[in-house]
Amino acid sequence: MSIKKYFIIIWFIVSLTSVSTILHAQEAGWYLGAGAGLSKVDVKQDLWSDNSVSNASLDTSGFAYQVYVGYRLHANFALEISYLQPADTVFKGVSNGSVTLWLPGNIKGETHIGGTALNVLAFWPGNPARMQFYLKGGLLMWDSKINYSATINDLKGFNDRGASPIGGVGIQLRLVKGWDLRAEAIYSTAQLADRENVGMSFAFLGISDSFN
C-alpha cells in the first residue's frame, strides 16, 4: 500500500474520534465486523482473447469477503473503514500462436483485485429500532493485478492502483445486545492493466460486535 493511502486512512481514523466529540450520540461507539458472500467482476473476454484463441472460457464470479471497523457517531450515522476482497477471475483457452500475445497451446489469465474503502453510513430509523436500513458511500482505494501464462515476449502481468467511488445498501438486524446481523449489496469499479475499467458487484452477509 502506498504512503498516500496510509495518510488517508490515518486521517480517516483521526476524524472518527474528533467528529464524535461534536455529536455526542447515545449509541456512539466502536464496532468491528466481517462478512462473506459472492462477487462478480465484469471482466470481458476481449481483455484476453483474440483471433488465435479457441475453446475460451471466463469465470468472473465467486467467493468474496470483507472485514471492517467503524465508529457510530449517532443513532443514524457512522464512519467505517473496510477491506474488500472480490473473487479472482480466470480465463482459459487454447491459442494457435498466430500473430498473438500468446504462445501456442493452453493459455490462462487471471485478475486479482482488493482494496480499502472509507465509507459514511446513514441508518434509518435510529436506535432503539431492532431493524435498520442503511445507505453507505465513500471511496475505494484498490490494487489490481492481471497475470498471464506463457507469452511470446515473456510478459507476466500488470499491476495498477487507483481510487473509485463505492456505494451500497443494506439491512442491519440486532440479534442480542451488541451483536448485529448485516445483509448488504455493494458496487464499485477498478481498472486493469491501466486500460480497462471493470465493475464489481458484491452481496454480503455478515455480523458485527459494537462492544456495547
List, for residues 152-166, the tens digit of each pLDDT value.
Answer: 777 788 899 999 999
Higher pLDDT, 4 or 199: 199
For range 49-68, the mean pLDDT: 92
Return the amino acid letter for 191. Answer: Q
**In this structure, which long-range contacts are made by residues 108-112, counting pairs with CB atoms below 8 Å and at least 24 apart in sequence?**
108/148, 108/149, 109/47, 109/48, 109/146, 109/147, 109/148, 109/149, 110/146, 110/147, 111/41, 111/43, 111/144, 111/145, 111/146, 111/147, 111/192, 111/198, 112/88, 112/144, 112/145, 112/146, 112/147
Coil/strand/helix, residue 188? strand
Mean pLDDT of the chain: 87
Per-residue pLDDT at 20: 44
Cβ within 8 Å of residue 124, ≥6 positions away:
76, 132, 133, 134
For range 47-57, the mean pLDDT: 86
